[in-house]
Amino acid sequence: MALADDIARVLFTEAQIQDRIRAMAAQISRDYAATAPLLVSVLKGALYFMADLSRAITIPITIDFMAITSYGDETASTGAVRLIKDLDEKITGRHVLLVEDIIDTGLTADYLLRTLRARDPASLNICTLLDKAARRIVDTLPIQYRGFEVPDEFVVGYGLDHRQLYRNLPFIGVLKPEVVSASR
């Protein structure tokens, strides 16, 4: 049985995702021209987005990664976040763009922003592929670039997982309810 058989509905196809990323990258290339920004992303969910976005950007950039504990194997946010891997580079005086897969309640991004802001970057903004705005708790996030708004449903694919699976789907979709309930 193929991984894609567990998907009830495709929200964004591979072509739609890539088109949107090209447009976001063009905008970032214009906005950050001559600043050599640092793109920071969070493992593992933003891995594919970071890879495609950074390759579509046409100005000099550097990239760095953090890893945090997020939902664990659950599908509901606790807001509790722990840093497992910190950045390799110093960000003081740098123009930093936090590259996120999805912003849901915003609690994770808010924690990351506070951590990064304490290191005095020249600027700090967010680029998120998906925005689940209906569930936002923290509404002060500097989201400068957003790919797509998503409904209040649990989505997988293109980096996003359910129990560590489905990250390698090239599209983004909603899981069949029986798949979610069978794993509870």
Instruction: Kindly state whether residue 112 participates in binding ligand 5GP, applying the rule CB under 6 A.
Output: no
Do 133 and 149 meet the contact criterion of CB atoms below 8 Å apart? yes
Q: Which two tokens stand for residue 19?
A: 């088109």
User: What is the smallest separation between the CB atom of 36 and ligand 5GP, expressed in angstroms?
Assistant: 26
Q: Is the dihedral of CA 82, 86, 91, 92 positive or negative?
A: positive
Instruction: Kindly state whether residue 77 participates in binding ligand 5GP, applying the rule CB under 6 A.
Output: yes
Q: Which of 155, 169, 172, 175 binds ligand 5GP (CB under 6 A)?
A: 155
Q: Let me know if 104 is a catalytic residue.
A: yes
- Give the whole-angstrom CA distance, residue 164 versus residue 70: 12
- Give the whole-angstrom CA distance, residue 46 versus residue 73: 17
Residue closer to ligand 5GP, measured from CB, 52 or 131: 131
Q: Which of 17, 49, 108, 147 binds ligand 5GP (CB under 6 A)?
A: 108
- Give the whole-angstrom CA distance, residue 15 versus residue 18: 5
- Give the whole-angstrom CA distance, residue 126 versus residue 103: 10
| Given 6, 52, 101, 104, the catalytic residue | 104
Considering only 12-20, 26-34, 70-78, 87-95, which stretch makes contact with ligand 5GP by CB under 6 A?
A: 70-78
- Interacting positions 35-64 with ligand 5GP (CB under 6 A): 45
Q: Which of 10, 27, 31, 71 binds ligand 5GP (CB under 6 A)?
A: 71
- Gyration radius of the chain over CA positions: 16
Instruction: Kindly state whether residue 174 participates in binding ligand 5GP, applying the rule CB under 6 A.
Output: no
User: What is the smallest separation between the CB atom of 60 and ligand 5GP, expressed in angstroms?
Assistant: 27
Do 102 and 157 meet the contact criterion of CB atoms below 8 Å apart? no
Q: Indicate which residues carry an active-site annotation.
A: 104
